[in-house]
């Protein structure tokens, strides 16, 4: 009888002790919208457009950064403006991504693509 009561106390302690330590997990939040199936197509298109904008910004910026560094390596100075890279280093300065503009610092050679 004593063995049964000891087991009962041990099981009760484990059950009650486990209740206080339980942690409620929240479901993961959707990246674009609220996770509503009705707005999923719009959320997807919005996310795809943002990703395309980000990719265009990265590709354009990296290409021009490398060209600026090449100019610096050959000329020993940074170009005064991006048009100085034409025609010796690139055929034309590529247009910035939509709704963006170039912010170039000729003293440091740093090119940023910023919102207009």
Q: Which pLDDT tens digit goes with each residue over 54-105? A: 666 565 667 788 889 988 999 999 999 988 988 888 888 888 878 888 888 9
**pLDDT value of position 90:** 84
Domain boundaries, the chain: 42-116
pLDDT at 1 over 70: no
Q: Which one is predicted more confidently, 71 or 23?
A: 71
**pLDDT value of position 52:** 66
CA 36 to chain centre: 23
- The helix/strand/coil state of 46 is helix
Write down the residue that tokens 């707005």 correspond to: 39
pLDDT at 115 over 60: yes
The CA distances from residue 96 to 20, 25, 39, 93, 109, in Å, are 56, 43, 31, 9, 17
């Amino acid at each position: 009888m004593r063995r049964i009561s000891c087991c009962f106390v041990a099981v009760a302690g484990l059950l009650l002790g486990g209740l206080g330590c339980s942690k409620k997990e929240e479901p993961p939040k959707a990246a674009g919208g609220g996770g509503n199936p009705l707005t999923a197509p719009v959320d997807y298109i919005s996310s795809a457009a943002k990703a395309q904008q980000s990719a265009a910004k990265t590709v354009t910026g990296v290409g021009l950064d490398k060209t600026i560094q090449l100019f610096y390596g050959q000329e020993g100075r940074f170009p005064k403006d991006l048009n100085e890279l034409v025609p010796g280093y690139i055929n034309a300065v590529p247009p910035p991504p939509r709704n963006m503009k170039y912010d170039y610092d000729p003293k440091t050679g740093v090119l940023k693509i910023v919102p207009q």
